[in-house]
């Protein structure tokens, strides 16, 4: 269509596909949702957002903020429709599970960071993670819960698993606060082994549910934003 605009083409050979398999994408709720005016019931608007990605050869949808295990069946069904629409067009849903045993959306009633026996990552109303590196059975149960949720929203595209992070600038080493059971199983310099074990369990579960998914993990600094902060404000913080 671009070539014939304003004229005509008698003969042509067109090679028009990306060289990079996994490319950029857009947030589901904060990107595509904005294109749909933020109304999760506007299926036509969300699908138009997916079509926008197609035009620009982007092929992932990420950041499912506002959609979790507590979401209503109607919301999960809606997101599942949009994800399936994307998958049918070669665009991958790209969720970011945590290796937490529980999160704010599936924690037992009454659980709080103060009551948790190991590392709790609490960042206000939007994030609440309960970690422990010592319990393989609970780790597998957490992965199974997440996989069941992903199946409801057709989310098995690219799955980026987050091990427990360093806590960012406000708490640079959560590992040092792990529980006695974790300490008995993992030495101080074996954090990598503990994280690798959790990734192994999560990968096993997710592979069972989503054999075609692209599954991996991420390594990146949470403090990259400090580069925009004056040095005097960075160095005083622990």
Give pLDDT tens digits for 108-127: 999 999 999 999 988 777 78
The DSSP bridge partners found for residue 25 are: 60
Q: Residue 91: which residues within 8 A CB-CB, separation 6 or more?
A: 25, 50, 53, 54, 58, 59, 60, 61, 157
Burial of 111 (0-12, 13-18, 19+ CB in 10 A): middle
Q: List, for residues 104-113, the tens digit of each pLDDT value.
A: 999 999 999 9
CB 82, CB 43: distance < 8 Å = yes
The pLDDT of residue 238 = 37
Q: List, for residues 50-86, the tens digit of each pLDDT value.
A: 998 988 889 999 988 889 999 999 999 999 999 999 9
Helix (H, G, I), strand (E, B) or coil at 25: strand
Q: Residue 22: which residues within 8 A CB-CB, separation 6 or more?
A: 59, 60, 92, 158, 214
Flag whether pLDDT at 167 surpasses 80.
Answer: no
């Amino acid at each position: 269509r671009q070539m014939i605009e304003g004229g005509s083409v008698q003969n042509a050979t067109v090679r028009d596909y990306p060289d990079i398999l996994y490319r950029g994408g857009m947030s589901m709720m904060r990107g595509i949702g904005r294109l749909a005016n933020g109304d999760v019931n506007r299926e036509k608007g969300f699908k138009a957002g997916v079509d926008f990605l197609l035009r620009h050869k982007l092929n992932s949808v990420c950041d499912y903020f506002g959609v979790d295990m507590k979401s209503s069946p109607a919301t999960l069904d809606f997101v599942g429709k949009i994800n399936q629409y994307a998958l049918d067009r070669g665009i991958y849903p790209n969720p970011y599970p945590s290796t937490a045993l529980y999160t704010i959306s599936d924690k037992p009633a009454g659980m709080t960071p103060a009551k948790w026996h190991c590392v709790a990552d609490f960042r206000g109303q939007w994030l609440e993670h309960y970690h422990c590196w010592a319990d393989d059975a609970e780790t597998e149960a957490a992965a199974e819960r997440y996989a069941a949720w992903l199946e409801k929203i057709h989310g098995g595209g690219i799955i980026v698993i987050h091990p427990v992070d360093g806590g960012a600038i406000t708490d640079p080493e959560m590992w040092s606060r792990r529980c006695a059971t974790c300490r008995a199983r993992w030495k101080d310099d074996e954090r990598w082994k503990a994280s690798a074990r959790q990734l192994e369990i999560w990968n096993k579960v997710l592979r069972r549910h989503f054999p075609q998914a692209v599954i991996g993990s991420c390594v990146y600094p949470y403090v990259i934003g400090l580069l925009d902060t004056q040095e005097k404000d960075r160095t005083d913080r622990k």
